Amino acid sequence: MQDFDVIIIGYGPTGKVLARLLSDAGKSVAIVERWPAAYPLPRAVGYDHEIKRMMHKLGVAQKIEAVSRPMHHYIWYNADWKVLIELDQSVESISGGPLGYLFNQPELEQILEEDLLGRPGISLFLSHEALSVSQNENGASVVLAPFNGADIPVDMAEAKTISARYLVGCDGANSIVRTAMNSEIYDHGFDADWLVVDVIPNEGTDLPIPDAAQWCNPARPTTIVPSGVRNRRWEFMVMPGEDLEELAREEKVWELLSPWITPKDGKIIRSATYNFRSRLARGWRKGRFLIAGDAAHLMPPFMGQGMCSGLRDAWTLGWKLAAVLDERATESILDDYETERSAHVDAVIRTSMQMGQIVCVPDEAAAAERDAAFFSGKVPPPPAFPGLSGGMIDTDETGAPIGLAGALMPHSDLSDGTRTVRLDDLRDRPGFVLLVNGLAHDGITPVAAAAMEALDCLAVPFSPARYSDVSGRLSEMFAESGAKAVLVRPDFYAFGSAETADQAEAMLVRAARMLTGKDIGATVKATAK
């Protein structure tokens, strides 16, 4: 039996990023994947500024930028091509650069895979099927066997068992890990079949299409978006009574594409029907088992947040697992993982559904009512993108976040007078950062120092003698909030904020207590006596 710190089932973007984070933290990771390589056809096509920030931290942002393009205006039209909604994705985000980007998933996955190969602690069990999973109080194990996907899919004669302290299911909607956990699935109720078509236009072809659009045409709701630098995607709603196999025939696909592109203009990469669902698992951890990505949640694609949500899972779970494995944190922070991520994902699913309900209107009379509501200005704007509402953040006695707690923090370039560096690059791996701007005194008390040591926290002071904020985003955040110190978690979200040195010390002590389960302040004061 081979033993690891963590076993990950599933080698998609979520599994790859989680494995990379654990490798960087010095952990041994086994990845089990039934296929020999990443799925070679497009699926997700969008990521946002927060995900690009992750890619910068992983050191692969420039390569991913080469296979991506910024998103400009995302426009929703009615059947007559009159604008219902125009979402400007080109505006400056708090992470720097535009709000959104469009990409080709196979190219992104290849970059993540090439980055992961050869890193210390990584063991790949590709072309292996996870047959069963089990756990006890000390760890988890997986029985796996070679899988060839052909006439003899699984070779039981070669079955073996591997074990680890934790097992994470990044294994999609039919997750074997989630099934073993008996996690309840809550269905939000969105259910629509769509035909998804990816096309590569010929070089030099100028297509008469909008850049990124939803055509809210009741005769056939249609999505038109780029898929990376060159490729294009169309998504067609399956109308009531249509036969899915008939709709997916190549002749029918070209018929649907004919208003915009013909066979002489390009070629179809793939076409497939998908059932867009809205589902959320309840129970993301059971003992040594955890789930992430599509194993934990599914959502309609209208916000482009499916893959993004999985990567946020990995980013949060990565630092939490590393801290627990290093015995710097109590295991209870793994329960906070669901508290934090589930509420966030739930809000994103609900907004995605709201947007989908605008698009998926196959009735002409209902579509006319929708159009009239938009043209009259009676439709409220989409809700703000969520932050964290619970878990390891600073809250009051009612459980409400204090100050900036739970908010995604701005990113900026910093200058010390001799060089400019990304804020996120001040640490060589994800970790806590204390942003300090104008506290009454610069000295760190013994209690605060002990709490920062427990948190593995780096202090970043803003003053003429230390760092200046090149972009101004952090300065704006401090000015608007009134905060003088902000404690930022390894996943870029604020644990909390403080306006005085005493409040900052108390905040650090609360954070250290949540992470370690120990009262750092009491320990330091007792030692001083």
User: Residue 118 has what pLDDT?
Assistant: 87
Question: Which two tokens mark 67?
Answer: 């296979």
User: Reading across the β-sheet that carries 420-422, which strands appear in turn?
Assistant: 420-422, 413-415, 468-469
Q: Residues in the chain, how many?
A: 529
Contact predicate 496/394, CB 8 Å: yes
User: Residue 151 has what pLDDT?
Assistant: 61
Could you read off the pLDDT of 393-433 as tens digits, one per residue?
A: 999 989 899 999 999 999 999 998 889 999 999 988 889 99
In DSSP terms, which residues pair with 139 in a beta bridge?
A: 136
CA distance 306 to 353: 12
Rg over CA atoms, the chain: 24
Domain extents for the chain?
Answer: 2-44+105-185+280-357, 413-528
Equal CATH topology for 2-44+105-185+280-357 and 413-528? no
**Cβ count near 395 (within 10 Å):** 17
CA distance 268 to 270: 6
Alpha carbon distances (Å) from 180 to 133, 167, 479: 7, 11, 49
User: Residue 440 has what pLDDT?
Assistant: 62
User: Residue 183 has what pLDDT?
Assistant: 97
Q: Where are the alpha helices (DSSP H) in 258-363?
A: 306-325, 332-359
Q: What angle is formed at CA 23 by the lines to CA 22 and CA 25, rounded to 5 degrees?
A: 65
DSSP state for residue 386 in the 8-state scheme: P
Contact predicate 31/8, CB 8 Å: yes
CA distance 169 to 281: 12
Per DSSP, which regions of 449-488 are E strands? 457-461, 468-469, 485-488
CA distance 54 to 83: 34
Q: Which amino acid is at 45?
A: V
Helix (H) or strand (E) holding 494: strand 494-498
CA distance 207 to 209: 6
Question: Which two tokens mark 185?
Answer: 């699935």
User: Residue 523 has what pLDDT?
Assistant: 73
User: Residue 150 has what pLDDT?
Assistant: 64
Alpha carbon distances (Å) from 257 to 102, 197, 212: 21, 9, 16
Burial class (CB in 10 A: 0-12, 13-18, 19+), 513: middle
Contact predicate 213/225, CB 8 Å: yes
Positive or negative: CA dihedral 312, 313, 318, 321: positive
Contact predicate 168/314, CB 8 Å: no
| Topology (CATH level 3) of domain 2-44+105-185+280-357 | FAD/NAD(P)-binding domain (3.50.50)
Q: Are strands 289-291 and 160-169 parallel, antiparallel or unpaired?
A: parallel
User: Residue 247 has what pLDDT?
Assistant: 93
Is 413-528 CATH 3.40.30.120? Answer: yes
Which residue in 168, 180, 123 sits closest to 317, CA to CA? 168
Residues of the chain with pLDDT below 70 are 1, 150-152, 440-443, 525-529
Describe the crossing of helices 13-24 and 306-325 by its angle, rounded to 10 degrees. 30
